[in-house]
Structure 1
Amino acid sequence: MTFLLAVTLTSMLLAAIMSVVAWRISGEERRRSEARVAALAAEIHDGVAEQSVVGRRAEMVMRNEPMRLKSVPATQSPPRQGGHDFQLRSIDGAPSVANLFSVQPARSGWRSAAAMGAGALVLGTSIALALVMSGGSRGVARSANQPTPAVGASPSGRAAPATAPVPLELVALGHERDGDRLIVRGVVRNPASGAARDRVTAVVFLFNRDGGFLASGRATVDEPTLHPGSNSTFVVAIPGAGDVGRYRLSFRTDDRILPHVDRRTVTKT
């Protein structure tokens, strides 16, 4: 857009410059014509003055000399009755006295300059229009090639992130040993702002004292569906836990892992 504006302003400036040049050229031509006319008029007036002086001198000489008559033989044709006939010629093309010293407008200079200015203006306007049309066509093609964002997509083209599920709350947790087995018991709650959860499973991973993996076990909670605001107990028994050092608890459904937070009340002793 900035480039198009610069091209347009340049074209207008060029047209203005050419107009000024044409005006100055026409002024120069007019002044030159006036100077030529003045010089010609001065020469004509000087010639007329000289001719008048010579005529006066000749007239004075003729007056001083006596009149002499010279016989001429009659060789000419006899005169016609009614006078001589003269052919009339059109004098439309002859210049009149009023037009003899009139200043003819200098058309060649300013016409050429005006033509150059008009040509520059037309050229600049054509270039600007071509650039505008090409830029518009490219913008239309680019917008046509861009895929239409799907409903629910963010303005940046990325899919809007899904609302994070409300985590479950671990209300109580405990464990006990039964021979070689480790039994983990607890209570889980679905917050009132959460969604109903079906077939929630508690998963327990066992690790030895060095941090190595020992075994794992899982069991569904007692409630088949955890409705918002409801609690459910769970019991997970894992065999082969003689060397267990710690365990990790998580909750999941058939297709995903459910986040949870620890809401147990710590009893001070």
Structure 2
Amino acid sequence: MDIALVSVTAISLTMAFAMGIVAWRIIREERRRSDVRVASLLTQLGRPPDPSGDVSSGLHTHGRVPPPPLETPVPDPPSEPRPRRLFAAVTGPSVSLRPFLATIGGVGIVLALGTVAMLSGRDTPPPALSERATPVELLSLAHAKQGEYLAITGAVRNPADGVDRGRLSVMATVFDRDGTLIGTGQTPLPVRALAPGGETPFTISMPEADRINRYRISFAQDQIGVPHIDRRETPDAAVTTPPMAGGQP
């Protein structure tokens, strides 16, 4: 989980840095293009040279003043809609950055939410773990030799304040006289699910009965150990001859 969290954080920082560089370069390019368009528009809107300079020079050459014209043409001032339309074209391309910036923001939000979810998930224990912490009760335990096998029988109960337990199994661990491990076995309980307050018998057979001197019984649910409490009235009553029984794992 720690490696995954570090990897997600590193990828998030790398993507944010790369997106920042790309956004900065695009904005800089848009500004440069905008400056070029503004300069071009200002050049197009500039007035042509005034021809009155040639007329005045002619006046000084001939030494006389021509009669004023009856009508002096006055150039029309530039209309307002035209420059507005031209300058609107300059500011238009900057709007294209909005989807890109929105995408960057969305990616950042998703990565942040994923990181927060991973961090919060580490501190929350899974519900199944608390359920398995409720112990079951071992009611009886006995054994009998059947040929080369040792048949271990007993009964287990789910307490009334427990939870539904499905896919329960009984596990046996056997040892020789020197305490050396001989082997382990596991057998599902004969019921599909053990409801609160319910009980069921179980049987598990282990080979090499002549070598077995001691055994331990435990329970599991989905291959995860389930604690149990020894509720036998006389735990040693069933132990008349070797092997010796041990209820606790």
TM-score range, shorter chain: 0.3 to 0.5
| TM-score of the superposed pair, with normalisation by structure 2 | 0.43
| TM-score of the superposed pair, with normalisation by structure 1 | 0.40
Work out which of the two has the higher radius of gyration on C-alpha atoms and give 1 or 2: 1
